[in-house]
Structure 1
């Protein structure tokens, strides 16, 4: 059968599987089986067994459930509440005041959660009622949360960076280091926009005058930030300092989260079991997707699709910028219907040959793809963060999408900045690896 026809059949089959609501992992396996069957390959069971073993036995993957469990443990403590109380006194004199708490809290919690949805849900549950009670613009409160919640995908340790690192065979430690500066850059863009918006919309801020917070009160509030900041420094410092691998740091992070939970006395035995079960569910979901993606990659290799696709892209003589432009559109469209991890594992096998053909650095491309997936998280109709915040607020999905639109544009600006100035991504990994 002609390869173009086979590719068309497989693409339509994937769309039909997903439209029917079949699990992404099963859809990937189903398309792989169909592809091998159409080419007359009778070793489907053997190939699936060997590819599943290869996909699930990578040592790098052991960091995944550990980081997820760390986030689940902290999700069930009062540390998110302490974040608000610790940051609020320091922001009372800035334009926008407590609106900045959303951005900074999401940035800090992202560094111990690794999950976009968990970051938005945890911080939103705590900040939205308080901001509404104090008279802040609800639309801006929702917008800052929607945009900043995506930081969970980028600021290390990021679950999606682990998945990309395994799929693209790129060092996870170097990916974590590469994500640090772009994450801080996005936080800076969000804080700057929020301050500018506050200066231009003073009528949408609380009218009551807030008392000046004394310096002793501010330093006293810092004590509430010490536990979670200490855990961040403990985990990321050990990776950046070259003392541990990401897997070892993840295990230390779980231990640190348990110590903090014990010290705060807010994690019950039932909460501990819930955190363990939540981590198992999330890790298994991602594991199944990786197994399905690995099998589909193997099937496509037998079909020769990646090679032919790379040759076709090369024949178009697209510049690297043109290729990145088209890939951005592809990822954002896919992100409207799939979660971020599914987008990455579904496309990496097909996209990487094109990226390598264009001479694009795979480390840089990992951060690029995460930023694009961040865009898709707040893109209607199925941006995952939009649904999380809709559940928290009870607002219409279009209301949440409209509130998130300025932050969609800011992430787009961040995407342009790392494309024009790739050193934002590559500077830290290059310099740290030389030490």
Structure 2
């Protein structure tokens, strides 16, 4: 249609049997505008309807009884609604540009191409709302600049692809990558909802990949890797290894500040982890193969932190609280300003090294293992630098301290 503007006032543009294409073009192949503010509909009914134009202004995407999807080849979308049961496909490129506008998805949006949000360095928000599902089918959300995409509560983004910053998640993001595919979360990202890796790998990589997590980020299966200087502000949040592994630092280093490292399986998994310590029983696994800094972090009752041989875990901030299993085959460095406090769980030296200038406070649980190929010395009442000092409650219900080597008097 060779027109700059088409008004769709309560009408229906449909594909019919076998599908079809609807385009609005002006001279020099410039896209025109489809204005559907007053009840206009795009309906796939018997085949896919491909839309190519400049701007698609409001309106509703629907699916007829014969089925099909409405596919965007190229268009700027503004306040478009996808009805329940309908599918909008972004096979090419779509832009959501105007400040405060939204894409309301109560059906399915499938992204094989890309969606851009806002103008360059636009200091405003664009919203993905509704109760539907957006599927990343290898597609990309955002360009790394522009307005902030807010995934609102009730909306789920799933599949495998890339979510570029700036991005705020208040709903659910479920990465589901098959084969050797990896999802990317370059950051900066703010998560107030739930992010899960259901299948495949999620990479959070680079100094610019700053993640602020006030919700839950979990490896429900396969892996999450923080590396190349990536940082997570986990204050008030949960980073969970719930059936998968979280690699802290990857091959190059990362930082986690605040919050909890745990498994997300609830009280049953926590009880099992606490009562049946040992390989194969931990619900979650956080692996340090190179280097990570944990600042003011709590290791939860169902979580297991493993510093592998050659790896270095540095504890910083006011305190590190261990309620789970801290396995040390590499080096655990406790910064001079940091208190190591174990209230339950276990610290297990697997021929690794603990470097600390403060006494370690073992208030509950156990400490066991071999340190640097030598038996771990029993606790004494000495308080010299790099000594391990254990605090036991009086009476018969205090924690057990399990050590190898000759017995000596525990500090009470």
Q: Provide the TM-score with structure 1 as the length reference.
A: 0.16
Give the greater-gyration-radius structure (CA).
2
Higher helix share: 1
Task: Determine which structure has greater relative contact order: mean sequence separation of CA pairs < 8 Å that are 6+ residues apart, divided by chain length.
Answer: 1
Q: Provide the TM-score with structure 2 as the length reference.
A: 0.16
Higher strand share: 2
